[in-house]
Structure 1
């Protein structure tokens, strides 16, 4: 695994534009990783489905991806970094509809601000093996999808403070933006193996996540956000795996 130059259309420092989104949609559609029938765990037989949104966005005209830290009161994966999303229920018309619903419930982001760019594949199952997780790639606009301007006009940035205010306090402990330029930094990348056998990059985001301090009975304070090796706060596990698949498609790293 080594660092590569990103696709020519993708700038790691300039904001996303309409032209960028067109190119992203085409690359995701045409990617060999998106061909069906190749699963990292083809032996699993999940009984339920979930869906997540991988939300590209501009923040202060800086391109990146929006992440959340799961609330500590959740029954599973509490305190870990994830994409917005969750279990599909009977009211959802599709897996994508479920991902959009969960994004609105967790982060207060309305579907009319979300421009879906494609479906990432191959899909995987959760650690227990009883749920298939469907990942969708999208761009979150600061205002509306049909923005004015040319193909090269920077798209509107989201307001992180507003997302913070409207997040679900029960489900989301924190929200942060990972710039593409930071994602391409080799010092952040830790070679890991998904489910013990599939190589991918875990990403150190310790400096981007504001950890919540909790006082224990002995008077000492400990971090209650994130999980990683040697005290790092990392994007790892299934979230890290899907992020790694996406960055390989975009040639940010391989």
Structure 2
């Protein structure tokens, strides 16, 4: 648990102001809102460049934004409970960059198709943000943001740029049973919900907001954080949470769109 001193310091360092968001947290994504988000990601990336270190192992993940039932949010995985690494944790699709991958982005897209069946042509890449952090497994993790279209949508730019983009169906996803227990949609509004959020410290130094998603993955169990192993397992006190590196990256994205300050 965080001490009162850390909680007070974190509260001052990380505040929530949804009214200042550059995109709507409740209205569906549109072409205009994606372009606004893309511009913010590009601007942020220009100030947070990290050099690739020769010989360092790298991984890449995709933050898959989408509309589900005209509700904007992000697709997240609950990893299988029997995996050797990060079992029972909420994560983005992604994984280690292989020598055969043409780029870090190519690795993220390959892993996304392998894990949840999304094809490259379904994903509109908006950019890469960071800085990329090192995972507890020693991999430098590069996060990319993309918007997901239904597999049968041809992305024809017709109508108003403010028209809602098409929603996807979770039942259309092809989940790798060996790696992924389930996939769920987390609405953007959840990131400001007092009933869901709690302050945590990333690597014991930086405040961020962890998100309780236990009710969204009902029927599945995460793996509790082992004693002395912060950021490992499904969450704190038996909850299933978006926390650790995944929670840190989502909090960073919320800062980019000015929901968190």
Matched with 1:183 is: 191
Q: Which of 53, 56, 60 is residue 65 of structure 2 equivalent to?
A: 56
Matched with 1:25 is: 38
Flag the 1:24–1:224 CA change in 2: closer, same or farther, 3 A.
closer
Matched with 2:10 is: none
Q: CA RMSD for the aligned pairs?
A: 2.1
Q: Which of 209, 216, 219 is residue 201 of structure 1 equivalent to?
A: 209
CA contact (8 A) 2:222 2:239 kept: no
Residue correspondence of structure 1 range 101-120 to structure 2 within 5 A: 101-120=110-129
SS in 2 for 1:55: strand
Is the aligned partner of 1:78 residue 2:87?
Answer: yes
How many residues end up aligned between the 2 structures? 237
Residue correspondence of structure 1 range 87-106 to structure 2 within 5 A: 87-106=96-115
Flag the 1:192–1:23 CA change in 2: closer, same or farther, 3 A.
same
Per-residue CA distance 1:46-86 (angstroms, 9 max, x = gap): 72110000011000110001100111232100110000000
Matched with 1:69 is: 78
Instruction: List structure 1 segments (4+ residues) > 6 angstroms apart after TM superposition.
Output: none
Is the aligned partner of 1:12 residue 2:22?
Answer: no
Matched with 2:158 is: 148
Output the TM-score relative to the length of structure 2.
0.84
Output the TM-score relative to the length of structure 1.
0.87
CA contact (8 A) 2:190 2:211 kept: no
Flag the 1:55–1:7 CA change in 2: closer, same or farther, 3 A.
farther
Unaligned runs of 5+ in 2: 1-13, 224-232
Q: Distance in 2 between matches of 1:93 and 1:203?
A: 34
Report the alpha carbon displacement of residue 187 of structure 1 after superposing the two structures with TM: 2.5
SS in 1 for 2:237: helix
CA contact (8 A) 1:33 1:121 kept: no
Matched with 2:230 is: none
Flag the 1:66–1:210 CA change in 2: closer, same or farther, 3 A.
same
Matched with 2:168 is: 158
Per-residue CA distance 1:88-111 (angstroms, 9 max, x = gap): 112210000000010000000001
Q: Distance in 2 between matches of 1:210 and 1:147?
A: 37
CA contact (8 A) 2:89 2:222 kept: no
Unaligned runs of 5+ in 1: 39-43, 213-222
Per-residue CA distance 1:212-240 (angstroms, 9 max, x = gap): 3xxxxxxxxxx356621122111111101
Report the alpha carbon displacement of residue 12 of structure 1 after superposing the two structures with TM: 1.3
